[in-house]
Structure 1
Amino acid sequence: MLFVAGVIPNQIWRMLGLWFGGGIDEGSELLVWVRAVATAILAGVIAQIVVQPPGALASVPDVLRYGAVVAGFIVFMLTRRSIFAGVVTGELFMLAGKWWLG
């Protein structure tokens, strides 16, 4: 039942996306705009989490949260704007800092 209700409807949209998006140039203005919007949304979510942390994250000191953002941004810039590397670095920085502080 889970396969029918969850996987099959999702796969239809994936296949349509591959079919329609197969001919789009990766350097086109549309994809540059899509990447910019996705990056802006991620930055907004991170900013909201840092300024008004939910749940257990509220127990993390402000300095540690802001330090994780700075570390993630530095790695983001050093790795030719790799969002993945920046986010992972920020997470590792925060986990290490929380472990260090106890």
Structure 2
Amino acid sequence: MTATYHQLDAWWWPYLFILIAGWFANDMWRILGVVLAGRLSDDSAIFTYVKSVATALVAGVIAQLIFLPSGSLGLAPMWLRLLSVAAGFAAYKASRDNVLVAVLVGEAVLLGLWAGLVGMP
């Protein structure tokens, strides 16, 4: 029996493909990371490098969201975006480095003041 292109026209085929491709692209690397991370020291050069690169990527994304936003965030004025980041950072320090509190406070400031500026109920 040979498989043809038309046999891939079943309703379930895209879901199976997403399941397999999603697992392969995501979970395989997570499992490999867990297996290999047990052998790394927190002070090793490679671990320090990976942490540095990850921190730089997050900082770059945050800078882009603040200074070059796209979509609806681009409609908010710069001072409002900077104020929400400052409020989130202050909440982060006030809550003893709780990231969830910082995100919630930053978003509350951004959305609350933006709603007040544009006159939303």
- 1:74 to partner: Cα distance: 1.5
Partner of 1:98: 114
| Aligned position for 1:34 | 50
Secondary structure of the equivalent of 2:40?
A: coil
Over aligned residue pairs, what C-alpha RMSD do you find?
Answer: 2.5
Q: What per-residue deviation string (whole Å, max 9, x for no partner) do you get for residues 17-75 of structure 1?
A: 110012334x4254454334323322222222212221211211222111011112212
Residue segments in structure 1 that go unaligned for 5+ positions in a row: none
1:24 aligned to which of 40, 47, 65: 40
2:84 aligned residue: 68
Unaligned runs of 5+ in 2: 1-15
Q: Higher relative contact order by CA 8 Å / sep ≥ 6: 1 or 2? A: 1
What is the deviation of 1:80? Answer: 4.1
* Structure (1 or 2) with the larger CA radius of gyration: 2
TM-score by length of 1: 0.73
- Aligned sequence identity (%): 36
